[in-house]
Amino acid sequence: MDNKMKFSSELGIIVLAALIVGASIELAYGTVYIGIFFLFLSLIALVLLAKNSKDTFEELRRSWFFISVGVAVTVLDLFVNNIIDSKIQTFDTMVILFGVSLIFYGSGSKYSEIGKFGAYFSLIFLILFAFLFMIPAKISMYLPYLYGHYAVAVPVVMLLQSIGIGVKLSDFRIIEVLGENHAFLRIDLACFGWYSLLLVTSMVLSYNLTFHWRDWRGVAKTLIVLAVAVYIANLLRVAVLVYLTYNFGSDFMLKVHSHLGWIFFMIVLLPISYILLKR
């Protein structure tokens, strides 16, 4: 693959990452229809990237084993959630995606590779999610919350104070907005940017495992670019949300809260990726 094609492929991966993040944010916190639209665009982008990779779709023999496991995983997760009357959230969504992906992978159709990608993607996400969120919570080591305070809340307050906005840290992960629109804003898990980082990390790793896109040194370079972009985009998003609360109140801020995540992610991600990947 020549340098021009390699750069085009890298940028395509970045765009796919942005679309997946946009779909996830909208489906979880925003407008479902926008989320479905982004999900549809993500699927199109994945198919186009796969066709342009050096390995084309691989038609596999039908495997009833993978189909059976996929059906069992999907049905079991839905059944357990129904029994305990629990709302399907991030972890369950990825478990269901893993099950559905195994069904596609075992189907033996020309889209088996898409199923393979989905299985890798969801499995990697679940492993990372368990190590970063579930296991620390079980052993009372609240690593994500320490990150949320010192890497998100503190820099945001310092940034806004430097431009004359009346805010202060009133408690751990609590930003107090002073003035006419007085409010207390808690920096919660969804505000840390970790979900976005897990999504793009899982996407890049699973794409490389499925379609053998780049050597692992190139994959590491792409992940570093994405990690920088995710952090900057999330920091700006939180800062803007606090700024909006200060000027217009919390009700207005909540109306744009979910949409700003993917908007800033795309605004920051694409220019940074273009500059760094061109080098």
Residue 273 has a pLDDT of: 62
Contacts of 41 (CB under 8 A, 6+ apart): 19, 23
199 burial type by CB count under 10 A (0-12 exposed, 13-18 middle, 19+ buried): buried
Residue 40 has a pLDDT of: 82
Instruction: Extract the tokens encoding 150.
Output: 């010192």
Alpha-carbon distance of 38 to 26, in angstroms, equals: 9
Alpha-carbon distance of 154 to 50, in angstroms, equals: 41
In this structure, what DSSP letter does residue 174 have? E
Alpha-carbon distance of 26 to 259, in angstroms, equals: 7
Contacts of 59 (CB under 8 A, 6+ apart): 108, 109, 110, 112
Residue 153 has a pLDDT of: 94
Residue 154 has a pLDDT of: 95
Contacts of 100 (CB under 8 A, 6+ apart): 70, 74, 118
The CA–CA distances, whole Å, from 276 to 198, 228, 266 equal 21, 11, 15
CB atoms within 10 A of CB 6: 14
Instruction: Extract the tokens encoding 78.
Output: 């839905």
Longest Cα–Cα distance in the chain:
66
Alpha-carbon distance of 176 to 194, in angstroms, equals: 23
Contacts of 25 (CB under 8 A, 6+ apart): 35, 196, 258, 261, 262
Local confidence pLDDT in tens for the 279 residues of the chain: 444 544 455 666 667 777 777 777 676 666 777 778 887 887 787 777 666 654 444 556 778 888 899 899 989 988 887 777 666 667 777 888 888 889 888 887 766 877 888 899 889 999 998 888 888 777 777 777 888 999 999 999 999 999 999 999 999 999 999 988 999 999 887 788 888 788 888 888 888 888 776 678 878 888 888 888 888 888 988 999 999 999 999 888 888 877 776 677 677 766 766 665 555
Domain boundaries along the sequence of the chain: 3-59+110-278
Alpha-carbon distance of 262 to 268, in angstroms, equals: 10
